[in-house]
Amino acid sequence: MAAGRTSTAGAVWATRAVFAGNGALFAGWVSRIPAVRDRLQADERGLGFALLFAAIGSLVAMPLAGRLIARFGDRVVIAMCVALCLTAYPMLAVAPNLVLLAVALFFAGAGVGLWDVAMNVAGHAVEEEAGRPLMPGFHAFWSLGSVVGAGIGALAARIGLSPLVHFLLAGALVGVLAVLAIRRLPDSRAEAAALDAQGEHHVPVVTSRPVLTDPRLIGLGVMTFCAAWAEGSANDWLALLLADARDATGAQAAAGFAVFATAMMLARLAGNRIVATVGRVTALRYAGFVALAGVVVLLTVPALAAAYAGALLWGLGVAIAFPLAMSAAGETPGRGPAAIAMVSTIAYSGFLIGPPLIGTLAHSAGLDHALWVVALLAAGMVVLARSARPAGVLTGSSGG
């Protein structure tokens, strides 16, 4: 039994490492977007067009995840995605024009999308094996990885390290981490085969016909769409806003995103306790107000310190919406998996498609004006928070 606990503990830490590595690579790219933009001399519309291909890559690849995991297992799929990302990210630093940047972003987006699904399947398997809730903590480690990645990006920008050298070094570190971690993950394919022999299914399958008629789920999906769009807008545009509208240096702009990512991590770590104290709906309403206040401060007060304060509130406000939405959707009586599939699909649409649309609007109105859309999205979180009310079993502390 002691050996079993040791094995489970190893799988938990391995899963945390896989989540953290994904977050670190992504944040490293985000922190150097200003440098890549400047090298290509691209405007917001052109950059937004290129960023859209990362969304397209993810949307094309993610529906394939279930089949790939069923055939090869999540460990192999994660390994393939790590290899794809370690190849694609350096290409972002050397792409000679926006067209080739878009191509590289397509493959990077595909790798990130598949990796995201596979690591969540692995996390679900480890959670079941451990017999206790672990998924919020796994997502907190993604945020921790993004904080580290953003911090390294800020340091790289400060010392004048080129994005190519930065991405190669970061990729080498994540690659070593992945090699050490993947071997300790459970083999979901083998476990699924064993459970199938007992008439059960271990690997979750996303239904092709999700529930679309439940007003509560529709509201929940739209609320999460707002939060995902708001989060993605910070990922893609916060550093550029600080560089362009606050005259921040490359290091200062990257540090601004690090503040946002740190706030996301802290909010997720505290999410369970907050929801247990005030309830899920109230927590989401407060979160929406906090995000709204952060965006208003960021866009109306010209000081760089105020921009950092706004980024902090922005991150605190949007962090818990997705995990709480998953908990709320899962409570749908008799339709939990279909409800989760529906809500998560709507949410990822906001996360992947919304931010590039900000770039298109910024081309005409300016980035500082375009980001007022995020204030409207935060207000939407407040209005739609009631959609996260408990359904079936009343578990106000669930999620987070």
CATH number for the domain including 50?
1.20.1250.20
Tell me the backbone φ, ψ of residue 166, rounded to 5 degrees: -60, -50
Contact 339, 231 (CB under 8 A): no
* Cα separations in angstroms, 233 against 277, 330, 331, 355, 383: 30, 27, 29, 5, 20
CB neighbour list of residue 234: distance below 8 Å, 6 or more residues apart: 257, 260, 311, 314, 315, 318, 374
**Distance between CA atoms of residues 265 and 46, nearest Å:** 31
pLDDT confidence of residue 124: 66
pLDDT confidence of residue 268: 84
Which amino acid is residue 147, in one-letter code? V
Length of the chain in terms of residues written: 400
Q: How sure is the predictor about 3, in pLDDT bands with cuts at 50, 70 and 90?
A: very low
pLDDT confidence of residue 207: 41
Residue from 56, 30, 376 nearest 235 by CA: 30
One domain, residues 189 and 316 = no
Residue 108 Cα to chain centre, angstroms: 14
Question: Is residue 125's pLDDT more than 80?
Answer: no
* Cα separations in angstroms, 304 against 63, 86, 131, 150, 252: 41, 34, 46, 18, 9
Encoding tokens for residue 105? 């972003």
Contact 58, 355 (CB under 8 A): no
Q: How sure is the predictor about 234, in pLDDT bands with cuts at 50, 70 and 90?
A: very high
One domain, residues 166 and 297 = no
Residue 2 located in a structural domain: no
Question: Is residue 375's pLDDT more than 90?
Answer: yes
Mean pLDDT, residues 227-251: 89
Domain that holds residue 48: 7-205
pLDDT digits 0-9 by tens, 65-121: 767 877 888 899 999 999 999 999 999 999 999 999 999 999 999 998 888 777 877
pLDDT confidence of residue 65: 72
Question: Is residue 398's pLDDT more than 60?
Answer: no
One domain, residues 232 and 165 = no
Contact 22, 116 (CB under 8 A): yes
Identify the domain boundary among 170, 190, 205. 205
One domain, residues 177 and 229 = no
One domain, residues 163 and 197 = yes
pLDDT confidence of residue 335: 62
**Distance between CA atoms of residues 144 and 35, nearest Å:** 23
* Average pLDDT across the chain, whole number: 82
Q: How far apart are the first and last CA of the chain?
A: 30
Comparison of pLDDT for 154 and 165, the residue scoring more: 165
Q: How many percent of the chain have pLDDT more than 70? A: 85
One domain, residues 136 and 223 = no
- Name the CA dihedral angle for 209, 214, 218, 221, rounded to a multiple of 10 degrees: -70
Encoding tokens for residue 201? 């299914």
pLDDT confidence of residue 62: 73
Residue 128 located in a structural domain: yes
pLDDT confidence of residue 394: 39
**Distance between CA atoms of residues 296 and 307, nearest Å:** 10
One domain, residues 131 and 238 = no
One domain, residues 31 and 151 = yes
Comparison of pLDDT for 44 and 310, the residue scoring more: 310
One domain, residues 109 and 221 = no
Mean pLDDT, residues 129-142: 75
Identify the domain boundary among 144, 173, 205. 205
pLDDT confidence of residue 211: 53
Q: How sure is the predictor about 279, in pLDDT bands with cuts at 50, 70 and 90?
A: confident
Greatest Cα-to-Cα distance within the chain, rounded to the nearest angstrom: 63
Mean pLDDT, residues 120-136: 71
Question: Is residue 399's pLDDT more than 70?
Answer: no
The secondary structure element, H or E, covering residue 83 is helix 74-94
One domain, residues 257 and 296 = yes
Question: Is residue 132's pLDDT more than 90?
Answer: no
Residue 1 located in a structural domain: no
**Distance between CA atoms of residues 244 and 304, nearest Å:** 12
pLDDT confidence of residue 51: 84
Q: What is the DSSP string of 271-298?
A: HHHHHHHH-HHHHHHHHHHHHHHHHHHH
Q: What is the DSSP string of 340-356?
A: HHHHHHHHHHHHHHHHH
* Cα separations in angstroms, 7 against 140, 183, 187, 226, 331: 22, 11, 13, 39, 31
Comparison of pLDDT for 110 and 135, the residue scoring more: 110
One domain, residues 255 and 125 = no
Q: How sure is the predictor about 338, in pLDDT bands with cuts at 50, 70 and 90?
A: low
Encoding tokens for residue 127? 């959670």
Q: What is the pTM of this model?
A: 0.70
One domain, residues 71 and 179 = yes
Q: Which residue has the tokens 């989760």?
A: 340
**Distance between CA atoms of residues 398 and 400, nearest Å:** 7
CB neighbour list of residue 264: distance below 8 Å, 6 or more residues apart: 143, 146, 231, 315, 316, 318, 319
Q: How sure is the predictor about 5, in pLDDT bands with cuts at 50, 70 and 90?
A: very low
Total count of domains within the chain: 2
